[in-house]
Amino acid sequence: MDKNEELINLAHRRYATKKYDPNKHISDKDWNTIMEVARLSPSSMGFEPWQFLLIENDDLKQAMYDDAWGAQKSFNGADKFVIILARKNMDINSPHIKHMSEDVQGHAFDPNSPFAKKVISFQENDFKLNTARELFDWTSKQTYIPLANMMTTAAALDIDSCPIEGFNRANIDRILADHDVIDPEKWGTSVMVSFGYRDQAITPKKRQPMEAVYRVIK
């Protein structure tokens, strides 16, 4: 099998797992690989507006159960349950942008620099990220890149997964804040994802044909 065939097989292999075998566990080596791929994911201007919470606390899972209705099948059997947080209020005044510039990317941060002006113009004019909600949606959508990378990596390691948006965001954020897991002024729940080993057959793909989703513009 050539690499192209392998990649297409992998896309068929990954599916939204509804029934996990609670007795099967992901090795540390595999889990560290999935997390390392998440960490290395690209983000807008390299600001990495995310954090990954591996939830191992059963009381917290119980507290979230009713509000995370799309995750209930994962709570019952998935080996790993992850909440991906997105940063709030990530405009040019955010201490996180200063931190990323100075401590991670290694260049001095000056709010009057051409770089800072570009960030401001991008946020305010190009993408119209002018409200707290718009800024959160921008950081939140970036978290779907590590989400996808984690699921594809898992599939390559023969690990099953399920992406999860079936939850009440306000209630989950409140539960996480009540458990001292997040500061809701700084973080919001973007998306959840579970990993483990299936206790069901892999479901065949149902997708639109290529011509419905792909156009070449000449």
Ligand X SMILES: Cc1cc2nc3c(=O)[nH]c(=O)nc-3n(C[C@H](O)[C@H](O)[C@H](O)COP(=O)(O)O)c2cc1C
| Calculated CA dihedral for residues 69, 67, 134, 186, nearest 10 degrees | -130
Q: How far is the CB of 156 from ligand X (least distance, A)?
A: 16
How far apart, in whole angstroms, are the C-alpha atoms of residue 215 and residue 199?
A: 38
166 binds ligand X (CB under 6 A): yes
Toward ligand X, which CB reaches closer, 14 or 88? Answer: 14
Angle between helices 144-156 and 28-39 (to 10 degrees): 150
Q: List Cβ neighbours of 198 (8 Å cut-off, separation of 6 or more).
A: 17, 19, 20, 21, 160
Out of 34, 119, 164, 172, the only residue in the binding site for ligand X (CB under 6 A) is 164
**Residue 162 binds to ligand X (criterion: CB under 6 A):** yes
Give the span between the Cα atoms of 109 and 66, in whole angstroms.
Answer: 44
Report residue 94 as tokens.
Answer: 């955010």
Beta pairing partners, 189: 85
Does 137 sit near ligand X (CB under 6 A)? no
We find the least distance from the C-beta atom of residue 46 to ligand X, in angstroms, to be: 24
Q: Which of 30, 67, 70, 127 binds ligand X (CB under 6 A)?
A: 70
Nearest alpha-carbon partner for 46 in 88, 93, 102: 102
Residue nearest ligand X by beta-carbon distance: 70
Instruction: Give 75 or 122: the residue with its C-beta nearer to ligand X.
Output: 75
Judged by CB under 6 A, the residue of 49, 77, 163, 188 near ligand X is 163
Which residue from 67, 137, 165, 199 is in contact with ligand X, where contact means CB under 6 A? Answer: 165
203 sits near ligand X (criterion: CB under 6 A): yes
Q: What is the closest distance, in whole angstroms, from the C-beta atom of residue 157 to ligand X in the complex?
A: 17
Phi, psi (degrees; rounded to nearest 5) at 196: 170, -150
Site string for ligand X, 16-35 (x = CB under 6 A): x-x-----------------
